[in-house]
């Protein structure tokens, strides 16, 4: 208990639950860290694919970046509409479930849950890469740094720190400032860079192969778009008019994201920067522009911080989504409850454990995790936009055709991108996600079926109680005659007139002695002796209970277990845990109730 209190702090009262409302300025900081931070790795992921294919392919990075920026615009406009139609929060799970039914909702929900896990893993490993780029001697400790960062985030979230705008504003705006200064200074210094003609594409690839490589690079770059839906989840956190403010914030976020991403891609191209095993592209670019001065470290530091913030947003999103899904009966009920600190603690812990496993399995290598990342994101985009299309068809309203066309464009575009990502990244890891989503869906449906069945069976309008109390007999299993047994006999006589004690005979001599003692101390309760040829205590006892139960058509049996409770935990190891076995088996017997009558030891 004290370790928990030290780490997590003392509990918070329910009445303290309230909602902080944020301005557009703070809202941008709170909801955009995930999306904006992805510029730290998106350009690099494009280049890695192209460089592997040969230096002749590198000049494709610019048209690919332009394509992704266009995609950002399309998706942002599409989500802008969702924000106005779902003012109470329009996550993909809700929108898809509302408009396309449970299956689509569960697909989107499963994709998002996977996505939040990957956001944590990718953001932390990328943040650690920013640190090890600046401080290369830390490179060997990548995995340790990743797990340590994750642990700190986990503990902070279990403590239930408010999503305070102040904490988020500083690093987010510092990062935006840093990247804009980088782009500005970089552009000014461009003239001094010798202009090298890109080598012409040597036709070593067939055109089909080239298209495939470009599409794969495009798929990798699409990680720039993760987190763009964050604003639509958090509309209610904005000051009124909520939807309007959220919409404006989304627009600003998309514009800033587009500028930063295009700027970094362009400069990387013009400064001839190539991916490296030990240093990120952003670090190389910052060094090329500022050398290793203060501002270089400022860029690396803010990059690390915003990536950690991005991981942190998943610690709000994952537990919230899983609690919504649990309330709908699709996930274990334990995920629906707030813990001591008003936080959905179970969700936080699950997210942390799964992310840690991923980071360790992939050695904290961002590039290895990326192929898993974008599939889920784009699947949820597609389902959410498709849901909006259905929404317009059903609800119509003013100018609904225009709205429908916009969302349909979004849905179609993201659907195509989903297929591109799944196809080009399949063997690199996307297959894991493509397998995991239907598995999670299947599990959620099984869970839902179980909860529905339980609630039907427990409903008081439905059935008769299973036991009739025409006859109540009490059985006391004993292993000898001692204080705990006397205690149990007294209790048994207090609750029924039909009490008997049962002893399993292992050694006839011992049994004989017990019978004589019983005459004196047994309080008139009959003692039944059972034979046990195989030295088992439990089996003859259960057979006897079944016999007694069958002798009364409508009765109930209470098995009163005399137990003694030792003082120290390790004392339990020194005693046969027969009582626990017996209770476990009795639990499954119809019409049998088990009762523990404890005697407390003092030493």
Applying the rule CB under 8 A, the residues between 536 and 565 that interact with a copy of itself are: 536, 556, 558, 563-565
- Pick between residue 239 and residue 449 the one whose CB is nearest to a copy of itself: 449
- Pick between residue 208 and residue 458 the one whose CB is nearest to a copy of itself: 458
- φ, ψ at 416 (rounded to 5°): -60, -45
Q: With contacts defined by CB under 8 A, name the span among 98-106, 126-134, 200-208, 530-538 that binds a copy of itself.
A: 530-538
The size of the interface with a copy of itself (CB under 8 A), counted in residues, is 72
Residues 6 or more apart whose CB falls under 8 angstroms from that of 201 comprise 56, 57, 59, 210
- Burial class for 569, CB neighbours closer than 10 Å (0-12, 13-18, 19+): exposed
Binders in 303-332 for a copy of itself, by CB under 8 A? 332
- Pick between residue 242 and residue 563 the one whose CB is nearest to a copy of itself: 563
- Measured at the CA of 500, the angle between CA 496 and CA 503, to 5 degrees, comes to 150
What is the rounded CA–CA span in Å between residue 526 and residue 524?
Answer: 6
- Pick between residue 373 and residue 491 the one whose CB is nearest to a copy of itself: 491
Q: With contacts defined by CB under 8 A, name the span among 72-80, 113-121, 263-271, 528-536 that binds a copy of itself.
A: 528-536
What is the rounded CA–CA span in Å between residue 528 and residue 548?
Answer: 12
Q: With contacts defined by CB under 8 A, name the span among 92-100, 125-133, 287-295, 594-602 that binds a copy of itself.
A: 594-602
Residue 255: CA count within 13 A, CB half-sphere: 7
Q: How many CB atoms lie within 10 A of CB 379?
A: 26
Minimum CB separation of residue 485 from a copy of itself in Å reads 8
Q: Are 324 and 112 in contact (CB under 8 A)?
A: no
- Pick between residue 198 and residue 471 the one whose CB is nearest to a copy of itself: 471
Minimum CB separation of residue 576 from a copy of itself in Å reads 6
Answer for which of 174, 185, 566, 585 binds a copy of itself (CB under 8 A) is: 566
- Burial class for 292, CB neighbours closer than 10 Å (0-12, 13-18, 19+): exposed
- Pick between residue 466 and residue 519 the one whose CB is nearest to a copy of itself: 466
Binders in 428-487 for a copy of itself, by CB under 8 A? 447, 450-451, 453-454, 457-460, 462-463, 465-467, 469, 472, 481-484, 486-487
Q: Are 122 and 314 in contact (CB under 8 A)?
A: no
Residues 6 or more apart whose CB falls under 8 angstroms from that of 125 comprise 142, 146, 359, 362, 364, 365, 366, 369
> Per CB under 8 A, does 13 bind a copy of itself?
yes
Minimum CB separation of residue 196 from a copy of itself in Å reads 53
- Pick between residue 290 and residue 344 the one whose CB is nearest to a copy of itself: 344
Binders in 328-357 for a copy of itself, by CB under 8 A? 332-334, 337-338, 340
Minimum CB separation of residue 453 from a copy of itself in Å reads 5
Minimum CB separation of residue 594 from a copy of itself in Å reads 5
Q: With contacts defined by CB under 8 A, name the span among 6-14, 81-89, 95-103, 183-191 that binds a copy of itself.
A: 6-14
- Pick between residue 137 and residue 534 the one whose CB is nearest to a copy of itself: 534
What is the rounded CA–CA span in Å between residue 293 and residue 278?
Answer: 20
Binders in 121-180 for a copy of itself, by CB under 8 A? none
Asked if the peptide bond before residue 241 counts as cis, ω within 30 degrees of 0, the response is: yes
- Pick between residue 333 and residue 393 the one whose CB is nearest to a copy of itself: 333
Q: With contacts defined by CB under 8 A, name the span among 10-18, 61-69, 242-250, 356-364 that binds a copy of itself.
A: 10-18
Q: Which whole-number Å values give the CA distances from 575 to 196, 485, 564, 580, in the listed order?
A: 81, 16, 10, 11
Q: Which whole-number Å values give the CA distances from 277 to 82, 280, 317, in the listed order?
A: 41, 8, 32
What is the rounded CA–CA span in Å between residue 42 and residue 226?
Answer: 10
What is the rounded CA–CA span in Å between residue 19 and residue 74?
Answer: 31
Minimum CB separation of residue 161 from a copy of itself in Å reads 18
Buried b / exposed e over 502-513, threshold 16 CB at 10 Å, is bbbeeeeeeeee
Minimum CB separation of residue 501 from a copy of itself in Å reads 14
> Per CB under 8 A, does 534 bind a copy of itself?
yes
Minimum CB separation of residue 603 from a copy of itself in Å reads 5
- Pick between residue 292 and residue 531 the one whose CB is nearest to a copy of itself: 531
Minimum CB separation of residue 162 from a copy of itself in Å reads 18
Q: With contacts defined by CB under 8 A, name the span among 111-119, 198-206, 363-371, 584-592 that binds a copy of itself.
A: 584-592
Minimum CB separation of residue 111 from a copy of itself in Å reads 23
Answer for which of 66, 416, 435, 495 binds a copy of itself (CB under 8 A) is: 495
Minimum CB separation of residue 7 from a copy of itself in Å reads 17
- Could you report how far apart the first and last alpha carbons of the chain are, in Å? 23
- Pick between residue 398 and residue 602 the one whose CB is nearest to a copy of itself: 602
- Measured at the CA of 197, the angle between CA 194 and CA 198, to 5 degrees, comes to 125
Query: Could you tell me what percentage of the chain is helix, strand and coil, using 3-state DSSP and rounding each to the nearest 5?
Result: 70, 5, 20
> Per CB under 8 A, does 491 bind a copy of itself?
yes
- Burial class for 132, CB neighbours closer than 10 Å (0-12, 13-18, 19+): buried
What is the rounded CA–CA span in Å between residue 134 and residue 290?
Answer: 13
Minimum CB separation of residue 483 from a copy of itself in Å reads 5
Minimum CB separation of residue 285 from a copy of itself in Å reads 49
> Per CB under 8 A, does 14 bind a copy of itself?
yes
Q: How many CB atoms lie within 10 A of CB 327?
A: 13
């Amino acid at each position: 208990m004290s370790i928990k209190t030290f780490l997590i702090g003392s509990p918070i009262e329910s009445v303290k639950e309230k909602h902080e409302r944020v301005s557009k300025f703070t809202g941008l900081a709170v909801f955009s860290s995930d999306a904006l931070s992805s510029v730290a790795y998106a350009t690099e992921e494009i280049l890695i694919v192209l460089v592997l294919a040969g230096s002749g392919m590198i000049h494709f990075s610019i048209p690919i970046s332009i394509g992704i920026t266009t995609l950002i615009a399309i998706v942002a406009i599409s989500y802008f509409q969702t924000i106005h139609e779902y003012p109470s929060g329009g996550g993909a799970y809700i929108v898809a479930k509302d408009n396309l039914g449970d299956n689509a909702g569960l697909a989107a929900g499963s994709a998002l849950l996977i996505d939040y896990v990957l956001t944590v893993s990718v953001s932390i490993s990328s943040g650690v890469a920013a640190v090890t780029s600046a401080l290369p001697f830390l490179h060997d400790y990548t995995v340790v740094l990743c797990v340590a960062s994750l642990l700190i985030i986990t503990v902070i979230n279990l403590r239930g720190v408010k999503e305070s705008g102040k904490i988020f504003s500083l690093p987010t705006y510092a990062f935006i400032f840093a990247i804009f200064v980088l782009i500005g200074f970089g552009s000014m210094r461009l003239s001094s860079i010798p202009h090298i003609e890109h080598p012409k594409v040597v036709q070593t690839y067939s055109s089909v192969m080239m298209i495939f490589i470009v599409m794969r690079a495009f798929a990798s770059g699409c990680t720039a778009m993760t987190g763009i839906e964050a604003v639509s989840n958090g509309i209610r956190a904005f000051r009124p008019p909520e939807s309007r403010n959220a919409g404006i914030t989304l627009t600003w976020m998309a514009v800033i994201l587009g500028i930063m991403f295009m700027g970094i891609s362009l400069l990387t191209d013009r400064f001839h920067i190539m991916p490296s095993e030990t240093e990120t592209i952003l670090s190389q670019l910052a060094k090329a522009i500022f050398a290793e001065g203060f501002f270089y470290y400022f860029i690396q530091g803010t990059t690390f911080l915003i990536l950690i913030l991005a991981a942190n947003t998943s610690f709000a999103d994952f537990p919230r989504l899983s609690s919504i899904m649990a309330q709908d009966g699709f996930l274990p009920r334990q995920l629906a409850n707030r813990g001591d600190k008003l936080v959905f603690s179970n969700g936080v812990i699950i997210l942390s454990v799964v992310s840690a496993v991923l980071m360790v399995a992939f050695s904290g290598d961002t590039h290895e995790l990326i192929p898993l990342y974008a599939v889920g994101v784009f699947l949820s985009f597609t389902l959410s936009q498709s849901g909006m299309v259905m929404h317009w068809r059903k609800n119509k309203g003013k100018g609904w055709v225009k709205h429908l066309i916009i969302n349909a464009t979004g849905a179609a575009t993201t659907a195509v991108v989903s297929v591109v990502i799944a196809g080009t990244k399949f063997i690199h890891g996307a297959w894991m996600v493509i397998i995991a989503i239907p598995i999670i869906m299947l599990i959620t449906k099984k869970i839902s079926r179980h909860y529905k069945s339980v609630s039907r069976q427990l409903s008081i309008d439905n059935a008769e109680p299973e036991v009739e109390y025409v006859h109540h007999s009490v059985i006391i299993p004993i292993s000898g005659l001692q204080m705990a047994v006397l205690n149990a006999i007294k209790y048994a006589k207090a609750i029924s007139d039909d009490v008997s004690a049962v002893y399993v005979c292992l050694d006839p001599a011992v049994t004989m002695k017990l019978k004589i003692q019983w005459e004196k101390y047994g309080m008139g309760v009959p003692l039944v002796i059972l034979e046990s040829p195989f030295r088992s205590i439990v089996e003859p006892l259960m057979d006897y209970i079944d016999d007694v139960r069958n002798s009364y058509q409508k009765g109930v049996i209470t098995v009163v277990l005399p137990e003694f409770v030792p003082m120290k935990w390790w004392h339990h190891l020194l005693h046969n845990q027969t009582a626990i076995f017996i209770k476990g088996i009795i639990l499954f017997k119809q019409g049998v109730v088990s009762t523990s009558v404890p005697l407390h030891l003092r030493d």
